[in-house]
């Protein structure tokens, strides 16, 4: 690979936005490290296809829910050179009666969607701070700002990611590092189909007819997302590309993509209030470069 190419790490490269992003950035001439679980097993064909797409693509096995897996993966990546851009794209989502999900199931989602992002960010940030440059894009969701029924355990992980990212963005701005959120609406990426049903069957039974509502809702979403009217996942890939292409320090904190459910309006009203905390804490001159 050409050592002068900018290096991107894209997690969750086996499907959906991640798979599309690997191809899009490779086509633009970037050096890509894509990560996926079970790259030598059930995803071996996807690994081979992505690496065949471009000589600038390397796919490695990584489970972001595992400290050891992330450490091993990034040791391999960083041995080949610094990372310029990290796109945290991996995610899992469970849809159902909130009370009926076990604490273990809630933790599973948090380990991947929230702690997994922290693991990967902590792996690249020392190098980015030393270089005084870098970009991290965290894939959130509309439900990182709002909380619809039946999405609560998933929504909680995205609310956590949003809060972590917002504060981190301020702290990293003096180092020339941008941190941004992409907030997709519903897209036909297979995220819904890969989820789990609630494990607390006794609680589920006590909800009566309401217990069937999440399944019906999921079926409705699936049908819509497979229709011609559904937004295309490429829109999220395009948002990733646009953020990478923007000048450092000019990237917005949040980018809503696809169906908005009013979250774009919420962001426009909320961000100035959020940024006012810097003035209230007398940090505006130190950290004000992250406002946007």
pLDDT tens figures, 153-195: 999 999 999 999 999 999 999 999 999 999 999 887 777 777 8
Q: Which domain holds residue 251?
A: 7-290
Question: Using one digit for the tens of pLDDT, what is the confidence trace for 121-143?
Answer: 999 999 999 999 999 999 999 99
Residue 2 lies in a domain: no
* 66 occurs within a structural domain: yes
Residue 207 lies in a domain: yes
Assess whether 140 carries a catalytic annotation.
yes
> Higher model confidence: residue 227 or residue 114?
114
- Tell me, yes or no, whether 286 lies in a domain: yes
Answer yes or no: is 1 within a domain: no
Domain assignment present for 161: yes
Indicate the number of domains in the chain: 1
Catalytic residue of the set 140, 141, 152, 155: 140
Residue 130 lies in a domain: yes
Catalytic residue among 114, 154, 170, 240: 154
**What is the percent of the chain with per-residue pLDDT over 90, rounded to a whole number?**
82
Q: Answer yes or no: 158 catalytic.
A: yes
- What's this model's pTM, rounded to 2 decimal places? 0.93
DSSP result, the chain? --TTS-EEEES-TTSHHHHHHHHHHHHTT-EEEEEETTTTTTTHHHHHHHHHH-TTEEEEE--TT-HHHHHHHHHHHHHT---SEEEE-------S-GGGS-HHHHHHHHIIIIIHHHHHHHHHHHHHHHHT-EEEEEE--GGGT---TT-HHHHHHHHHHHHHHHHHHHHHGGGTEEEEEEEE-S-SSSTTTT----S-HHHHHHTGGGGGHHHHHHHHHHHHHTSTTSPPTHHHHHHHHHHHHSPTT---SEEEES--TTHHHHHHHHHHHHHHHHHHTT-HHHHGGG--
> Is position 224 within any domain?
yes
What digits encode the pLDDT tens for the residues 7-64? 999 999 999 999 999 999 999 999 999 999 999 999 999 999 999 999 999 999 999 9
Among residues 58, 114, 158, 173, the one annotated as catalytic is 158
CATH, residue 115? 3.40.50.720
């Amino acid at each position: 690979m050409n050592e002068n190419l900018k290096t991107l790490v894209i997690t969750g490269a086996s499907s959906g936005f991640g798979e599309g992003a690997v191809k899009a950035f490779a086509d633009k001439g970037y050096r890509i490290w894509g990560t996926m679980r079970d790259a030598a097993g059930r995803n071996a064909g996807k690994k081979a296809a992505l690496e065949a797409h471009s000589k600038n693509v390397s796919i490695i096995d990584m489970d972001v829910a595992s400290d050891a897996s992330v450490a091993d993966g990034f040791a391999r990546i960083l041995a080949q050179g610094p990372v310029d851009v990290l796109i945290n794209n991996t995610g899992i989502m469970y849809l159902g009666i909130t009370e009926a999900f076990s604490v273990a199931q809630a933790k599973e989602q948090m380990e991947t969607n929230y702690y997994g992002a922290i693991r990967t960010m902590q792996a690249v940030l020392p190098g980015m701070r030393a270089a005084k440059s870098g970009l991290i894009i965290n894939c959130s969701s509309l439900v990182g700002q709002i909380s619809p029924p039946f999405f609560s355990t998933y929504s909680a992980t995205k609310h956590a990611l949003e809060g972590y990212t917002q504060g981190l963005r301020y702290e990293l701005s003096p180092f020339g590092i941008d941190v941004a959120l992409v907030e997709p609406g519903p897209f036909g990426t297979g995220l819904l189909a890969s989820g789990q049903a609630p494990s607390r069957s006794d609680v589920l039974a006590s909800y009566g007819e309401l217990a069937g509502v999440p399944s019906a809702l999921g079926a409705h979403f699936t049908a819509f997302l497979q229709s011609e009217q559904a937004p295309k996942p490429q829109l999220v890939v395009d948002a990733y590309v646009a953020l990478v292409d923007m000048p450092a320090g000019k990237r917005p904190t949040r980018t809503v993509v696809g169906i908005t459910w009013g979250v774009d309006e919420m962001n426009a009203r909320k961000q100035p209030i959020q940024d006012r905390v810097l003035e209230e804490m007398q940090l505006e001159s130190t950290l004000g470069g992250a406002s946007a």
